[in-house]
Structure 1
Amino acid sequence: MSSEIGPQILGVGWCRTGTSSLKVALDILGFGPCFHGRFIPYLPALRKHCYAYGTGKQQDFPVHQLFDQYNAAVDIPAGLIPVLMDAYPTAKVILTVRDPESWYRSVQEVIVRLHKRVLRPFFWTTQLGRQYTAIIGWGLKYMFKGDMSRDNCIRAFNDHTEEVQNRVPAERLLIWRPQDGWEPLAKFLEVPVPSTPFPAPQNEGSREMLGQMLKFIRRHPLASMGMRVYDHRGPLDFNAI
């Protein structure tokens, strides 16, 4: 089912490819509000449906109900990319890309570390925490089929790039890196090039955020207790999700 409203632009690059910079850029170019995957913890309805759909408890995803309010969507949970592309078949598609080796290192340093050291230990006792960690676990499983080895992750990353290129007509697809800046984005979207500087890459900000979360856990008794209980309990089994 297609829709005349909803995202005009779909950013289908995986996380750690410059999706945060793309989100800010699209807002500046006038395509806001722009959805970003980091919104999921703060949107109960979306979180609930992502959790149910990703864990097999729900067969259909109410894509129009949840995404028609946005003019663009980036950093989409990997398992929802095909769903949104089917729902909005005339949307322009931006595939953010990155050197595969650099991307893999970034995923390991930020996302995997965040899961192992922060999300699972500290949030497993809350419904929000368990849902959010399960959603990310589902995303990792969808992308990598349960195999987080370097070779498999890079293979999956390259396969996704090839799949998007094969699926999307060339006139609706932009393959883009943050270092490409405004010009190709503005040309593709048929808008003027802004006079403002292009949004800086978000890599350092993500590492800083992770560091602050770890400091919080170490300094607060309740958080530290959660870490100790988690260590005693053992890790969540994401293969059972």
Structure 2
Amino acid sequence: MKVIFAGFSKTGTKTMQAALTELGYNVYDFVEQYTYLGKEWAKIMTEGGTTEDFRRMFENVDAVTDAPAYYFWDEIHKAFPDAKIVFSMRDEDDWNRSMQRQIVENSTPLMRLLRVVSPSFRGLFNHTANARLVMFGTQLKTSLFKPYERNELLERMSYRRHNAHVLQNAPKDKLLVYNVKEGWEPLCKFLGVDVPSKPFPHKNVRGSIVEEVLAKEPIMIRAKRELIFSITLLIALVSFFIYQVMT
């Protein structure tokens, strides 16, 4: 582990994943953490974990971004004390509005339906629910028929505590307080790498990452296939029932 991005979700995590990937790091973002380390995270979030657990989980990973890793940044750093910590924060009201937009994007009719009919997506959703409970102390209020609802007060409190914890406790010689709007220069200088010739990436602007994830992530492609299978099966069963009734 070389880089730990300790910024809360909605402070540039997807942009940091893209930037660190461009710099040549093997990055585990939210989906990778679930896909490759889902069982380990489930244990940590329900039973607890040790420094050795984190060392084993991330021994072949260069960098980590987004949940649930950012919440456990200090435990990961204990396992990899030479790792550098990049931290971003934003105005709380801006962060809150961004969080709300993402919840709306994550609870479209398609996403709510996938939670019911797709085992693959349901596993990812349950992982997310466990992480939210650990990080915020609350769950989303879910429904098949309307967008999910969140406890804004508890989420704001968690955001403040996390930011204060990082700023007060991260070793200063390992910490870069950074805004993705600053681009390549301060990030590359801190990491000791060359500045790429490509423009600095900007991802998940106004919650747009959902469409990209649906189109490209293997788990979401599998979930959509499961949705098609479920719909096809339902149509077949209804057709068979109608045929039986009519004959």
Give yes or no for TM over 0.5.
yes
What interval of TM-score do these two structures reach, taking the shorter chain for normalisation? 0.7 to 0.9
Tell me the amino acid that sits aligned with residue 158 of structure 1.
Answer: R
- What do residues 36-83 of structure 1 show as CA deviations (whole Å, max 9, x unaligned)? 11223432xx112222332x2x44363223211111111141553343
Q: Quote the residue 2:193 is aligned against.
A: 191
Equivalent-residue separation in structure 2 for 1:12 and 1:26 (angstroms) = 14
Equivalent-residue separation in structure 1 for 2:158 and 2:125 (angstroms) = 21
Between 188-197 and 139-148, report the one with greater CA deviation: 139-148
Aligned pair partner of 2:209 in 206, 218, 229 = 206
Aligned pair partner of 2:5 in 8, 11, 17 = 11
Secondary structure, in 3 states, of the residue corresponding to 1:86?
A: helix
Asked if the contact 2:28–2:65 (Cα under 8 Å) also holds between the matched residues in 1, the reply is yes
Q: Quote the residue 2:28 is aligned against.
A: 35
Asked if the contact 1:47–1:131 (Cα under 8 Å) also holds between the matched residues in 2, the reply is no
Tell me the amino acid that sits aligned with residue 15 of structure 1.
Answer: S
Cα displacement (A) at 1:108: 1.9
Cα displacement (A) at 1:191: 2.0
Asked if the contact 2:55–2:80 (Cα under 8 Å) also holds between the matched residues in 1, the reply is no
Is 2:224 aligned against 1:222? Answer: no
Residues 65 and 138 of structure 1, relative CA distance in 2, 3 Å threshold: same
Unaligned 5+ runs, structure 2: 140-149, 235-247
Alignment identity in percent?
A: 25
Asked if the contact 1:17–1:96 (Cα under 8 Å) also holds between the matched residues in 2, the reply is yes
Q: Quote the residue 2:56 is aligned against.
A: 65
Residues 146 and 224 of structure 1, relative CA distance in 2, 3 Å threshold: farther
RMSD, aligned CA = 3.1
**Any runs of at least 4 consecutive aligned residues in structure 1 with deviations exceeding 6 A, and if so which?**
210-213
Tell me the amino acid that sits aligned with residue 67 of structure 1.
Answer: F
Cα displacement (A) at 1:130: 3.8
Asked if the contact 1:10–1:72 (Cα under 8 Å) also holds between the matched residues in 2, the reply is yes
Asked if the contact 1:8–1:91 (Cα under 8 Å) also holds between the matched residues in 2, the reply is yes
Match runs of 1:116-195 below 5 Å: 117=109, 121-124=113-116, 128-146=120-138, 148-195=150-197
Between 65-74 and 107-116, report the one with greater CA deviation: 107-116
Tell me the amino acid that sits aligned with residue 44 of structure 2.
Answer: Y
Counting matched residue pairs gives 212
Cα displacement (A) at 1:113: 4.9
Tell me the amino acid that sits aligned with residue 16 of structure 2.
Answer: L
Equivalent-residue separation in structure 2 for 1:178 and 1:112 (angstroms) = 24
Between 166-175 and 151-160, report the one with greater CA deviation: 151-160
Asked if the contact 1:178–1:201 (Cα under 8 Å) also holds between the matched residues in 2, the reply is no
Tell me the amino acid that sits aligned with residue 28 of structure 1.
Answer: E
Q: Which has the larger Rg? A: 2
Residues 90 and 76 of structure 1, relative CA distance in 2, 3 Å threshold: farther
Cα displacement (A) at 1:121: 4.1
